[in-house]
Chain A
Amino acid sequence: MKESSILWRGEMTTRRALTGRGMSFLSGGMLWLLGFLILPSLIFIALSFAERGVYGEVIWTFSLENYRRLAGFSSFGWTPDYLLILGRSVIVAFVTTSVAILLSYPLTFFIASRPERSRFMWLVIIIIPFWTNIVIRTYAWFFLFSPEFPFARIAAFLGLIPAGTSLYPSAFAVYVGMISDYLPFLALPLYSSVERLDWSLVEAAQDLYASRIRVFMQAILPQTAPGLTVGIILTFVPTMATFVVPDLLGGAKYMLVGNLIQQQFGASRDWPFGAAISMALMLMTLFSMRIYRRKGKKVDLL
């Protein structure tokens, strides 16, 4: 039976020929992503229910043991250690994102208010840290917080830390590192919205004697919501999962879920438990985004 011809974008063809050609365009990317992204993720989910052998090998017998362990139950009774790490990661991600928002609004307004000619230069000032490797930027804080440097000396003078010690490992160092490392991920998408802001709406609100908070909430926030949303996702997801910053600046004192996962794939070699923690991380990230999304609108990345 002969298939009937269809007209598609100026071309007389058959549906089958079109599908065949389309599939040949898609096949490379599809096979790659299925093979190295989707399939691994599915194996990972299964792995999180498996068991670790004596030598770190995987034994494929399924139980909820890893999740029970993550919740703190072990043969020695109940400890909140893992749950504390998970909770701390959420708090760190939340605080980092919030501070980044508070700092990014003035920064993007400032850049948008520069004269057209120098605006590009100011913008490059945020793009450069955006693209600079995070290890290098974290290392730079590590260096700046060492004992002989003014920051640590001032803190020692104020009695916050013992004299002659560095500012890391500490929660303070982790927060400073996190905020400065991830701020460009929020500021850059936000700027794309701020740049297009319709100031006449802001002025109208001001003319009608709206308070500053109302001007922001009703004239600025809705207009900048698209950029802000992308920025929040780009900041929140990596800050939840980061392990470079807490590893260099927090040490064992301030472990986050990223370090915990890395341990399971490094020193401890307990892949099933690592997979279970990863699942918890994914769930917490999705859950947080869900709460945010309910309040915001639909998200478009890039």
Chain B
Amino acid sequence: MKKNRHIVIQSISFFTIAMLYLPLFGVAVFSVNSAKYGWVWKEFTLKWYTSLFSNEYILAAAWNTLVLAVVSTLISTLIGTLFAIGISRFPWGRKTDSFLDILLNFPVVIPDIVMAGSLVVVFALLRSVSDLFEAGLVTMIIGHITFQIAFVALVVRSRLVSIGTDIEEAARDLFASNWYLMRRIMLPLLLPGIVAGAMLAFTLSLDDFVISFFTSGPDSQTLPLYIYSAVRRGVTPQIHALSTLVVFITVILVVAAERISRKN
């Protein structure tokens, strides 16, 4: 009887894994098929991949995606790390603590479409003050930072909790200054948490569609936005190739991130 149960669990698991991978696999197979349409296999080709690099829209979208992810990750990692230290290393009262807690968890649980909608409205209001808020890369970066900060701070905070305060107190007893404490004690101890938080922020940025879709301008297409609008014009092998490439990059990032976090 026990064996039967194992078979049931195993077959459901394989079914689920197939459901997760069959579509991605299908797209990958047809991205190296030279037939342009339909359920036919002609011959192996990489021409759809090479054609990506001569498509200036795709190159621009890839560049935008990268700039958006890198800039938003850098800023949100800095702000989020300081925020986490501020929350957990100072004697705030109970009320301030619970306020900060809500502030931190709000971006995690608010539906992204609601956040995106409210950002659209605020950027429209701010546009009357400054041209900076014209829909484009800047507004997208602001949007991404807004949801990234909380995730970075949550990761760094859990690291702060796990390292405890003993070493800091010891440093203080030995007359370490504020600056020395930050640079030589907190930073090295927190580094794994900061790196983990930054990696999370980076992947969240690459993964985002809704915030980008709402806050983007005509010249700030990213790869997910490009794919989304391309699907409505019709499915082409070029889009298969682009999607497969993005999945491939995701796989590399995930494996690298897991390796790094397991080492720590």
Contacts and interface: CB of A to CB of B under 8 A. Distances in A.
Interface of A: 8-11, 18-19, 21-26, 28-30, 32-33, 36-41, 43-44, 47, 103-104, 106-107, 109-111, 120, 124-129, 131-137, 139-144, 146, 148-150, 176, 179-180, 183-184, 233, 237-238, 240-241, 243-244, 248, 258, 261-262, 265, 271, 274-275, 278, 281-282, 285, 301-302
B195 interface: no
Interface band, chain B? 35 or more
B231 A302 contact: no
Contacts of A21: 90, 178
B50 interface: no
B13 interface: yes
Contacts of A107: 12-13, 16-17
Interface in B8-22: 8-10, 12-13, 15-17, 19-22
Nearest to A181: B20
Given A36-B122, A132-B250, 17 more contacts: A10-B173, A22-B92, A23-B86, A26-B87, A28-B83, A33-B107, A41-B110, A47-B121, A109-B9, A127-B254, A128-B250, A133-B224, A139-B235, A237-B109, A241-B112, A265-B214, A301-B105
B253 interface: yes
Contacts of A127: 254, 258
A36 B146 contact: yes
A219 to B, nearest CB: 15
A143 B27 contact: yes
Interface in B231-246: 231, 235, 239-240, 243, 246
A139 B83 contact: no
Nearest to B209: A135
B118 interface: yes
Interface of B: 8-10, 12-13, 15-17, 19-24, 26-27, 30, 37-39, 78-80, 82-83, 85-87, 89-92, 100, 103, 105-122, 125, 142-143, 145-146, 149-151, 153-155, 158, 165, 168-173, 178, 203, 206-207, 209-210, 214, 223-224, 227-228, 231, 235, 239-240, 243, 246-247, 250-251, 253-255, 258, 262
